[in-house]
Each structure stands twice: as C-alpha cells, then as structure tokens.
Amino acid sequence: MPVFSSNSFLMPKIRRFVVRLPKNFTARRNYVISNPLGRPAEYGELIRSLARSYDDKSIVASPPDRFETWFSQEVEYRVEYWDELVLPECKANAANSILYVVAIYDPYFEEPWLVACPQKFSGKTLSNFYHDRWPIEQLPLAAKHMVGADRQFVFAPESCQRLPELALL
C-alpha cells in the first residue's frame, strides 16, 4: 500500500524509477548522529538539495556528498549528489526506502532538475533516463486536453480507472 503525504509521492513497492522532484523537496539522512546527552535521535539530518527563501529569509542548501561534470555537444553539465537518503517522515536505518537525489544543472534551463532514483547512477545516465520519459508522456498529455480529461473530477473507483483509459484510447 503506497503512503502519500506532502513530500512523499513515491511508492515503496516500485524498485526502479526516476522521478522529478519539486524544488522544495527535503529528505533525511539514513543514519543518525549519536548524541550522548538526552533522548536518542530517531531521524537523520534534514537535507535540502536546493537553496530557497521563505518570508524573506534565505534557507541554504545542504552540501552535496559528491560532484560530477560531463560534456555533451560542447555543453558542460554539472551534477550534485546526495546519497542514501530517506523521506522526511521515515526513521533512520530504513533499508527499503533509500533514495539517491541528484541535482542536474543544465545550461539550457534556469533552475536545476532535481531527480530521485532508488539506485546509484551517474548524472549522465539519470539525465538520459529523464529525457527518455518525454516521448512517452506526450500522448497522455495531449489526450487529456483533446478529450477533456484534464479537469474531470471523478471519485468512484470504476470512473477513476475508465477516464485514463478513455484518454489513452
């Protein structure tokens, strides 16, 4: 059964996926730093992949675990990695919900792509995986507008299944 909340839209039963994350995505380390005083910590350090501001206060990004750069058609791409993270509501040492978060800085875009994957890949591979999604998503996206499936509010289980089927048809 998938668990959904404000930050968690990932299904734990899916083993292979590449998902684009929102700019304000946060995660936690999968380990805790031991503190001899007080109650033992249950959650890891909070990680923010991208810097942002809130109420005119700037929130700095967490330093990445590693960097990578590569060139493709004379364009330099820069990648920052955060390894072995879990969703914010998960406690540390959660073996089945580990994520690798990657920020891909593409010079053609103003903001970096924030991508998550449950396996450790290079930035170039993840970028190629993400680009391979675009042709697949185009058909359902166009069908939603042609059939009018983009603004339909259905709640019955059968209707929830039939509307996407109609849009794909």
Q: How do residues 27-68 score in pLDDT, each as one tens digit?
A: 999 888 877 788 888 888 889 989 888 888 998 999 999 998
| Structural contact between residues 8 and 17, judged by C-beta atoms closer than 8 angstroms | no
| pLDDT on residue 4 | 36
All residue ranges of the chain with pLDDT < 70 are 1-14, 130, 132-141, 143-145, 147-154, 159-160, 163-164, 167-169
| pLDDT on residue 7 | 44
- Looking at residue 90, what DSSP letter applies? S
Among residues 111, 70, 88, 108, the alpha carbon closest in space to that of 30 is found at 88
The residue extents of the domains of the chain are: 1-121, 123-169
Q: What angle do CA 163, 167, 169 make, to 5 degrees?
A: 115
47, 75, 90, 118, 134 from 12: Cα distances, Å: 20, 36, 12, 10, 24
User: Over the chain, what is the mean pLDDT?
Assistant: 78
| pLDDT on residue 140 | 67
pTM above 0.75, yes or no: no
| pLDDT on residue 136 | 62
